[in-house]
Amino acid sequence: MGHSLIISCGTPSEIFALNALIASLKDKNPAQQITLLTYDDGQTAAHSLPGIDQVRVIEKQKIKNFARNTIFSSGHAINLFWQNLTPVIQQHWDEIYNFEADIVPAAIASMLTAKTKYGLQLNAEHNLSFSSNWALSDQFIYQGRHLLHRKDQIRLMANLATYAVPPAVFVDPENQALAREHFAALRHAPGHQDRRIVGISIHDLPSALPDEDLIKLLELILDDDTLLPVLLSSKNAMDLARLKAINQKFMNTIIAIQGHQAALAAAISELDILITGGDDRFFLTAKHGRVIYLTTQTDFYRHGGSREEDCIILARDKFSIELILTVLKHGRTELLTLAQDQADSHIDWASLYFPFTDEMGVYFQTAGTTPKASDFGLLIARYILGKLLHLPITLAPRIFQANPEALSAHIQQERLHILETTKTLLAALRSLLRLQDNTKMGQEFTMQLADILAYVDEQHLAALCCTIFKNQIENLPLGGKDDNIRQIETLLYQLRDHLQLALGVLRDLDDQLAQIKKDQYRQKAKEHLADVQG
Amino acid sequence: MADFDPQVCEFEIKYTKDQLPVPVIHGIHLHSIYQPRKEAESFIAQNQGILAEKNIILFLGLGLGYHITAASAALTKLYGEQGYTIGVIEPNPLTLENYYRFCNQDNQNLRIFCAKDPDELYLRSDFVNFLALGPKIIPHPASFNLYQDYFKKFMAYKASDNLTAIEAVIHDQNLQAYFKKSEAANLAQFYQQLKTKNLQNLDYFVLAFAALTSSASEEATWATR
């Protein structure tokens, strides 16, 4: 097992562009541990890159603040910088890749010990130079602080990727000509049939990029069988709308969009496959040189399971609700099999979390981030789902300790949703009673029923119960009117029971939470006092 | 200035009619002896403008935290339960001890910093980390009057650029020893000396640090040396 360090302090898009290198390194040696060293503004991007085992961050802004503000001793800045770098300094590396053309990363790369170093380094005489193994390094001549212009950096990165790993191209939207040049070079280079573009990154489609150029660019990518297209666009539905307006063709191919899920939802049905991240994370990647499709759970099932070998299911908040539908449609055994078969790969590659699975392949442990309310939402939803379907799902209270406030806020919100749904449910029951007395009251009942069914589209526990209700109604056997009314009444009462069950779970969680908070406070007060008095 | 020494400090707890505790130090009540909660609420209402400006607040003086509770409520309304941070500087450990004695509610958004000398605070990482967030400062009037010298010293603090003072803040012993070897008076001199010697070991670290923290024009100097 080797240890490689990649130093990349560039923009998030530059960090994403490391994808090919990482995939290739992993391909060559799957057991290889890869660490990425970056500045704080690249942290999110770095965490999202699959294949990275560890991310080390230099808290640049904070260090600068400490160093420049006169009320802080520079010692604090030094401490923080040292603290950031210590784990990197202590490690003996097999390979170090310095992707930067800047003195800070060069000095860092030079102070570290490694069997092989690639990229810019600083020697004892203060001279900056590229290592001789650096791809096509003779193209670059050191000319002062701004050693490389942006386009050269990108070219360098592309060249390195071509040299050290399976060919890859990094497209900078600000320099489309260069992008085209790269594509052309790739396509016409000897042995190009072996070359595949494994990651093309287009962030925030710039408004200055003319549509016709964009079309050419997309066609170039999409029409070439030797290229595996993956378009990443960081900014939301606006980009999608623009692409759509440009050419419907692209909508039926593979388009990756992250963020703004709600706006995207409207467009989902028009896509064959939607590749989406969400929550501002990039999930999409090339795994061992192949393209992985990241799709929604709904699309996945709609197409009868995985059509593609490398399909990833996007399983976020709606996951549980859709699982229920699957259970009701296909039976429980299949659900468990699906969860076991699919959840791991999803978790492994598409989320920021360690795969720590329970009976259903649910993850519990967070890696480097504090769990958010939505994470708890997922866990609780699964737990309640287990209760409703009598599945052996347990809650791991350990995770609640990581962020009791978020859990508390989440419980509060869920409770409000349940109360609101219960209110609607009671109104429906009332109108049903009136309908039984007087058949002219049918319209009122239908409206109340529609109100309940409308909750299905929301993302909370009550929606989960309503989804079951909806599915049961849809599967009601044909019968007489009275029969149907009786059955609906039974289902409504069942819905009430489900809502009560959900409330009960929230109550239990509240108790657990109160105990956790109490313990934490006592401990904290004790420690603080001991500290001050000591 | 009041004395913080528990042996000398005249500290007592009095109770309001409603049995709410009020600390009295050297005869000075830190909160109203009639309605401390109401007093705190009106104090926070007066400072509502500051709270609306920023969700990170530093109070000078803890007392028994009536104003902190009121501020938490106001900040929760403005920014949500987890959307704010309150820091408090309390010079007197006895006050802190009694705060913990009487206040049984944890507030995850609260950081209390207690040190007998304000200079000590600036040496602490947790405190400077909080200050780096750029909090708005609100003095608790009774505490501020009681510990005027302390808080004035706190406000007027300026970190020394002397290398010895910097060394004192550095945690890592190797790094501290490395700086100690130098005869430079300050970091600027240290950097100058670094430019004329052959680089080895920790020199690279300091050079990276210098380049990272320098302004753009200085950066150019580093690179074009």
Read off the pLDDT of residues A116-142 as tens digits, 9 standing for 90 and up.
887 778 888 887 776 665 543 332 222
Query: pTM to 2 decimals?
Result: 0.51
Least Cα separation, residue B127 to chain A (angstroms): 10
State phi, psi for A198 to the nearest 5 degrees: -95, -10
**Residue pLDDT tens, chain B, 225 long:** 455 555 567 889 999 998 999 999 988 999 999 999 999 999 999 999 999 999 999 999 999 999 999 999 999 999 988 899 999 999 999 999 999 888 877 788 999 999 988 998 998 889 998 998 889 999 999 999 999 999 999 988 988 889 999 998 999 999 999 999 988 999 989 998 988 889 988 999 999 999 999 864 444 444 433
* CB within 8 Å of A533: residues ≥ 6 apart: B93, B97
Chain A residues whose CB is inside 8 A of the B170 CB are: 75, 78-79, 82
Least Cα separation, residue B17 to chain A (angstroms): 28
Best B88, B106, B116 member to test A by mutation, with max A CBs in 10 Å, is: B106
Scanning every residue of chain A, which has its alpha carbon at the shortest distance from the alpha carbon of B223?
A145
Predicted local distance difference test score (pLDDT) of residue A253: 42
Least Cα separation, residue A530 to chain B (angstroms): 10
Helical residues (DSSP H) of A29-119, grouped into ranges: 43-48, 60-68, 74-90, 103-111
Best A39, A85, A126 member to test B by mutation, with max B CBs in 10 Å, is: A126
Helical residues (DSSP H) of chain B, grouped into ranges: 36-46, 48-53, 66-79, 93-102, 118-123, 125-131, 141-146, 148-155, 163-169, 173-180, 187-195, 202-213, 216-224
Measured between alpha carbons, how far is B142 from A163 in angstroms, rounded to an integer?
A: 70
Do A70 and B105 make contact, defined as CB atoms within 8 angstroms?
A: no
* CB within 8 Å of A134: residues ≥ 6 apart: A118, A119, A120, A160
Do A79 and B205 make contact, defined as CB atoms within 8 angstroms?
A: no
The burial class, CB within 10 Å (0-12 / 13-18 / 19+), for A188 is exposed
Average pLDDT for consecutive 10-residue bins of chain A (534 residues)? Answer: 85 60 70 91 77 91 88 92 95 86 88 87 81 43 28 41 33 48 50 38 44 57 43 42 54 37 28 29 25 33 33 32 39 34 30 32 37 61 65 60 77 90 92 81 84 81 80 72 83 91 88 83 84 76
Q: Which of A110, A520, A533 comes nearest B204 by C-beta?
A: A110
Q: Are strands B21-25 and B28-29 parallel, antiparallel or unpaired?
A: antiparallel
Least Cα separation, residue A73 to chain B (angstroms): 5
What is the per-residue pLDDT across A321-373, written as a single tens digit (0 to 9) for each? 344 344 334 333 333 333 333 333 322 222 222 223 333 333 333 333 445 56
| Contact A62/B at CB under 8 A | yes
Predicted local distance difference test score (pLDDT) of residue B221: 43
Measured between alpha carbons, how far is B190 from B193 in angstroms, rounded to an integer?
A: 5
Chain B residues whose CB is inside 8 A of the A521 CB are: 104-106
Chain A residues whose CB is inside 8 A of the B123 CB are: 73
The first and second tokens of residue B137, run together, are: 């400062």
Q: Are strands A293-296 and A311-314 parallel, antiparallel or unpaired?
A: parallel
Least Cα separation, residue B16 to chain A (angstroms): 25
CA atoms within 13 A of residue A288's CA, in its CB half-sphere: 6
DSSP A118: E
Measured between alpha carbons, how far is A528 from A520 in angstroms, rounded to an integer?
A: 12
* CB within 8 Å of A127: residues ≥ 6 apart: none
| Contact A409/B at CB under 8 A | yes
Best A108, A111, A531 member to test B by mutation, with max B CBs in 10 Å, is: A111
Distance of CA B103 to the CA centre of its chain: 21
Residue B76: closest CA among A118, A14, A408, A161: A408
Reduce the DSSP state of residue A513 to 3 states and report it.
helix
